[in-house]
Structures are given as C-alpha cells and as structure tokens.
A and B are shown apart, each in its own frame.
Chain A
C-alpha cells in the first residue's frame, strides 16, 4: 500500500501530495475531494475525431435513403431490390446482370452503368435508380442485353425499344 505526505492544501479542498513509499514513491499528484465536481478528461479514443467513413459506407447510406421500405428490407436481406417501371420490373443488385421482366412476358439480363470514373457499388445503384426514374425509355435504349441463362450479349436497345423517345 502506498504512503504519501501532503505538500499543500488548497482552499477548494484539493491537495498536492507526494507518495513516499510503494510503486509510486516520489511521484507528486493533486487529489480532489469528491465534492469538487471534477471529471476525468476524455480518453484518447473519445477525443479522437470520428473516423472518416469509407466511400462504400457513405454510398450505402445514400442508397438506403432513396429506397422504399420494401426495397430497403430487400436490400438489407439480400443486397438486391426490385424496381417497378412502366415497361416491366427490374432487379438491381448484380452489376452487369440486371434482371428485367417485361410486362408482356419474357426475361432479359441487362448491362447498364454510369459513365466516367469508378463509383462505390451502392452509388452505381443510386445513379441507375435516379437516371431510370427520370427517363425509363433511355435506360432500355442504352442497355446491352442478353437472354438468360447464357444468351449472347447484344448491344442496346432492348427488343421493343427501337426508338429513343
């Protein structure tokens, strides 16, 4: 057990003490009464600025914010979600392999991507989702397509979208 001597007493109840035995011998510290209202400084971890999120995390949060509750639940469960359009249903989630089920039947696999430099994967879906929402016909016009499971890849447009409207 450590022993100490009081070197100085302050009016507010604090004391400066020096340990005279034990592992802390020679060390001078300030003691605080429990009534002082002092709390220890934040730890280094608490003081450290919040670590910058990864691009993937930021992009995933933005994507989720744009989805309906059903799409969000689907994305959470299997990293895919359906998107209804006036031409049929799309399934986003697999890059270069977007599922498309036209209203008049059949099934296609589409490949549509944003132009330019690389984006985090969730941003690609955000990009496609917004572009599709404003101009669905263009989406099917530019899409390269094939028939599943292993059909030949064709340049766009998808059959039935022969004219860019």
Chain B
C-alpha cells in the first residue's frame, strides 16, 4: 500500500492510500500539496530502498511506494 511518512516529534506520521480509492488518493494529494506549501522536502523511494534509491519529488505520485517528508535545513 502506498504511503507517506511525515517526520515529526512522534517519529513520523503515516498517511496511506490505495491507488483505486479516489477519495483516499485525493486526501493524500491534498496533504502533499500542503506539505509543499509549507516548504517541506519530499523524497520517493521504492520499498526498502536506501538513500541512494531516494529521489526528490515535487508532485504527488499516487503509485509511489513510499514518500518521505523531511524539513529544510539550516545552520545550527
């Protein structure tokens, strides 16, 4: 099942959908758009893929196996 994992203080929040469930897909797509508007960074990776397999994405892909959301970085 495709899913998004949004890193947060709980570890991550998971959003899942099935590709033929239009309502669930639209809900996930809306979260994707909101995250992009919040300037978060999205990476798509195949199941069990390492960072080498992760690819930065800018549009929602309903067929993505896993989308990881991380934050912009800054000097600490």
Where the two chains meet, the residues of A that have a C-beta atom closer than 8 Å to any C-beta of B are 53-59, 62, 65-68, 95-96, 111-120, 123, 126-131, 133-134, 138-139, 142-144, 155-156
CB-CB nearest 7 A-B residue pairs: A58-B11, A113-B76, A144-B75, A55-B11, A111-B76, A114-B71, A134-B56
Other A-B pairs, 9, CB within 8 Å; known A55-B10, A131-B71:
A53-B11, A54-B11, A56-B11, A66-B45, A66-B54, A67-B51, A112-B76, A127-B73, A143-B75
Q: How many residues of B contact A (CB 8 A)?
A: 24
B11 touches A115 (CB 8 A): no
Closest chain A residue, CB of each to CB of B39: A115
| Cβ contacts under 8 Å, B11 to chain A | 53-59, 62, 120, 123
Bound Cα distance A128, B48 (Å): 19
| Cβ contacts under 8 Å, A117 to chain B | 8-9
A115 touches B71 (CB 8 A): yes
A134 touches B72 (CB 8 A): no
B75 touches A111 (CB 8 A): yes
| Cβ contacts under 8 Å, A126 to chain B | 7, 68, 70
Checking B41, B52, B75 against A131 with a beta-carbon cut-off of 8 angstroms, the contacting residue is B41
Type the 1/0 row for B28-62, where 1 means its CB is closer than 8 Å to any CB of A.
Answer: 00000000000001010100101110101000000
